Amino acid sequence: MAQETAPAAAAASTNLVVSRLLQRLPVAALGIRCSRTPDIARIARASGHHAIWVDLEHSSISIDAAVQICAAAFDIGLMPFVRVPEREYGVIGRLLDGGAGGIIAPRIETVAQAEDLVAACRFPPLGHRSAIGTLPHVGYRKMAAPDFNTAMNQATALKVLIESPLGIENIEGIAAVPGIDIVGIGTNDLSAELGVAGDFRHPRVRAAHDAALAACLRVGKPLAIGGIADAGYAAELMHRGAAPFLMTGIDTDLLLAVAQERVRLAFASLENTEPK
């Protein structure tokens, strides 16, 4: 009996992020681009994060390094997402089999693309993910295939990123696809596609955000609007209904910020030192 209930418990814990967002509770997530060892997961947990996301779209991190970080995150109650560089069935399967708890798929523009993502990430009957005997997510325990598939489908979180005008046009249909848990807006890329790169308050960007908010509220899916280097506007969007999915930073940016501050303090100490 213990072997049968363990995967269900795992599913409940790995769905913590989706559950919190549906309750409009904040989720803090740390992005990973330069770290290569499981230590970064422990650091994220110790600093109060609920989730991490390993960025394979904008880094040279290998699948092997990514899944080791993800598996370590699971062991300490941290939800590990991986942002994939493309929606390739084999790559997604290897990441999920190795320890990823969620997939973030960039550049989703159509309902068909969202449906293909679900097919790659979900076991039957929800998708076409290839069967596997057991996984690190459930401590490599064995269980009946139908129960295992159900538990893992519940455990796996899927987030689509909308980053183009076409994606905004189709966002309600995309959000409504069964198996999609979170809809994200990549505002940096979206603003560039709209011809106003980095101008997050431009009327075109605001109109896109308005359309996305209305669509996701109708469908009942959390909308995480990211890529906004404007705390006031980000707070306004969350007040209007955007999910409190807080991207606290990327490891490269955080390391740079701390290093710059330490250098500043080091030189300041020299200036304040009296010669003896």
What residues are annotated to the active site?
58
One-letter identity of residue 90: G
Coil vs helix vs strand at 184: strand
For 39-101, the three-class secondary structure string (H helix, E strand, C coil) is: HHHHHHHHCCCCEEEEECCCCCCCHHHHHHHHHHHHHCCCEEEEECCCCCHHHHHHHHHHCCC
Can you tell me the distance from the alpha carbon of 82 to that of 31, in angstroms, rounded to the nearest whole number?
Answer: 9
Question: Closest Cα partner for 186 from 20, 57, 14?
Answer: 57
Question: Closest Cα partner for 49 from 23, 81, 3?
Answer: 81
Can you tell me the distance from the alpha carbon of 36 to that of 257, in angstroms, rounded to the nearest whole number?
Answer: 19
Coil vs helix vs strand at 127: coil
Q: How far is CA 259 from CA 124, 253, 254, in A?
A: 48, 10, 8
Question: Closest Cα partner for 162 from 213, 236, 112, 212?
Answer: 212
